[in-house]
Amino acid sequence: MRAEVKALSLCWLSETDLTNLNSGEGGSNLVDIKKYRWRGREFPYVSGQAMRFYLKEAIRREVGSEEACVANEQGETCGRIEKCVLCDLFGFMTTLPDRGAIVRVSPVKVSPAMGMIPLDEAMVLDFLTRRHRGQEQVEAGELRGDIVNVELSVNLYKAGLCVDIQRVGREESPVEIDRIEGIKRRRRRDREVAEAKVIQSIQLEDLTDESERDRRVALLLNAVKDFSDYSKQARLLTDFTPDFILIALQSNYSHRLQKALEVNWERTVRLQIERLSQILTEVAEDCIRLAGRPAIFAGMLNDLLENEKEVRKLLESRSIPILTPRAAVEEAKKALEID
């Protein structure tokens, strides 16, 4: 992996078919959609926890069982950073017999997926009946069922993630960097010693080799292309992977790219060109250089945005290659030198 890359930032838009990706509290006969309110209107969202689950399951499909643990009854995972890809990338809170309680902050930061189209324009209530077909119903000569209402929506979601590349496959450990000797003295083992204040910092300790770190970042990027374990897919099949994506290879850690894709909804989906231009200018300052240009990649499907031509013109003016979303991810992997 390129040593100068400190962060990998992704931001994307995804259009869904009629579905319910993440349910809220609901009720006895209602399966609702998780919602947030903005300017007096309700929009759907998919929680960050659900997004992490989708990515984890996509990675689990590609690795052996020994590299992807599952949480126990207490919700604790194994904590083996050197062996478990999921504990390394997504962090954990667990208790180890010889070390007590330990916490690993996730190197992968994931946003909720926020719906951009108001639900009063894009939601329907689906009426379902859960049939009971047991022996008692057969003998009684009737079929009974429970009535269930399910909220469904067609929408456009904005999501993103940022990877703290330096911490993948590594663990923070304390290190003494200085010691300030005091004037006051105290007795220790029948002799007087000066009290001292120990100054500590942290250093990153490698728990895997460089090739394994590369593989884990590649697994995560592949998961972005393919994640699919959303809820209710048995009867509400849809695709939730990126339709328009921006990827930045940054020389410092920053979440700034997450503000690049702001959408205006007026019966059509229009991207805010001025906002996109401003954020690209700022993010370019943090990116490594590839052939004299900032390492930013774009992937876009046709006809997603009403002002697609304006978006393409802006990206081309900045020498940002425009590919399909999957091809953009592959180009980013090549630029990282992990392909």
Q: pLDDT at residue 231 above 90?
A: no
Total domain count for the chain? 2
In-domain check, residue 292: yes
Say whether 301 sits in a helix, a strand or coil.
coil
In-domain check, residue 1: no
Residues 114, 31, single domain; the answer is yes
For the stretch 100-143, pLDDT in tens is: 788 899 999 999 999 999 999 999 998 877 665 655 555 555 55
Is 0.85 surpassed by the pTM of this model? yes
- DSSP letters of 38-78? ETTEEEEEE-HHHHHHHHHHHHHTTS-GGGS----TTS---
Residues 113, 235, single domain; the answer is yes
Residues 317, 275, single domain; the answer is yes
Higher pLDDT, 109 or 176: 109
Residues 134, 80, single domain; the answer is yes
The C-alpha atoms of residue 69 and residue 63 are separated, in whole angstroms, by: 11
pLDDT for res 137: 53
- Average pLDDT across the chain, whole number: 90
Q: Amino acid identity, residue 294? A: P
Contact present, 169 and 206 (Cβ < 8 Å): yes
Residues 114, 191, single domain; the answer is no
Residues 323, 310, single domain; the answer is yes
Residues 196, 306, single domain; the answer is no
The C-alpha atoms of residue 286 and residue 295 are separated, in whole angstroms, by: 9
Residues 66, 105, single domain; the answer is yes
Residues 318, 186, single domain; the answer is no
Residues 199, 238, single domain; the answer is no
For residue 200, what are the domain limits? Answer: 171-206
In-domain check, residue 2: no
pLDDT for res 232: 84
Q: Amino acid identity, residue 209? A: D
Residues 245, 187, single domain; the answer is no
Of 156, 182, 206, at which residue does a domain stop? 206
Written as six digits, the tokens of 166 are 């330096």
Residues 319, 184, single domain; the answer is no
